[in-house]
Amino acid sequence: MGSRGPTFVKICGITRLKDARAAVRAGANAVGFVFAKSPRRISPLKASLLAGRLHPSLRKVGVFVDPDIDELFRIVEQVGLDGVQLQGTETPAFLEAIRSRGSSLFLAKVVRATSKKAVESVRDFDVDAIFVDTKDPAQPEAESQRVEVSWLNGLSDVPLVVAGGLDATNVAQVVKEVRPWGVDVSGGVETSPGKKDAAKVQAFVRAVREAEVAVS
């Protein structure tokens, strides 16, 4: 798949300032704050305190599952989010409603990658990025598994972000084989849910950048 400049790298499930700063030092493009039910869930108040101490160049993305649109925008404003990532059963119409109210927001939709046919639904959404992940949002305690790479063939025109089951040992293969617009990691750089390991974050981003050079 064709690359669109440097691979977008997001470190998700941030709950501590030192972890967000580790993402910045590593060269990540974005961090994710989870506001849905999850072992990595963070309150809007705490997220706002963290976000306010981060460099403005770092994109701050809120992760939601089937949110109430008014509540979503309340959190966007309170935290100062640059984007939202929707992981539930949100419809194209719901996404359009968000776009009409927050046109400057980075808008992403997660498609659950359970089969090649399921992955093909990425074309149903007019968003800035489509995340493909195996995780069932109804089971927030479960860890994601890797997406079957062959299911992503033929989607070079879609701004895909591959998520789930990634770490520093396997992300280079994904970057080389899929050439995605971006990659997203959470559990693969943690010591426990919500607690990142700075060395693992550094190694993950480095693996992405080295893989980019190899395929450029």
CB atoms within 10 A of CB 136: 12
CATH code where residue 202 lies: 3.20.20.70
Q: Is residue 166 part of a domain?
A: yes
Q: Is residue 17 part of a domain?
A: yes
Catalytic annotation, pick one of 126, 133, 136, 197? 133
The answer, yes or no, to whether residue 3 has pLDDT greater than 70, is no
Confirm whether 136 is a catalytic residue: no
Q: Is residue 49 part of a domain?
A: yes
Mean pLDDT over residues 63-86, rounded? 97
Whether the Cβ atoms of residue 205 and residue 152 lie closer than 8 Å to each other: no
Confirm whether 133 is a catalytic residue: yes
Q: Is residue 1 part of a domain?
A: no
- Element of type H or E holding 213: helix 198-215
Q: Name the pTM for this structure.
A: 0.93
Q: Is residue 169 part of a domain?
A: yes
What mean pLDDT value characterizes the chain? 92
The answer, yes or no, to whether residue 90 has pLDDT greater than 70, is yes
Mean pLDDT over residues 122-127, rounded? 89
Confidence of residue 82 (pLDDT cuts 50, 70, 90): very high
| pLDDT the model gives residue 145 | 73
Cβ within 8 Å of residue 105, ≥6 positions away: 76, 81, 82, 83, 84, 98, 99
Q: Is residue 3 part of a domain?
A: no
Q: Read off the amino acid at residue 120.
A: E
Four-CA torsion 59, 146, 111, 158, nearest 10 degrees: 70
The answer, yes or no, to whether residue 2 has pLDDT greater than 50, is no
CA distances from 190 to 12, 54, 74, 168, 195 (A): 10, 20, 29, 11, 6
Catalytic annotation, pick one of 12, 126, 128, 167? 12
Question: What is the three-class DSSP state of 102?
Answer: coil
Q: Is residue 2 part of a domain?
A: no
Cβ within 8 Å of residue 177, ≥6 positions away: 149
Domain that holds residue 12: 8-215
Mean pLDDT over residues 60-70, rounded? 97
Q: How many separate domains does the chain show?
A: 1
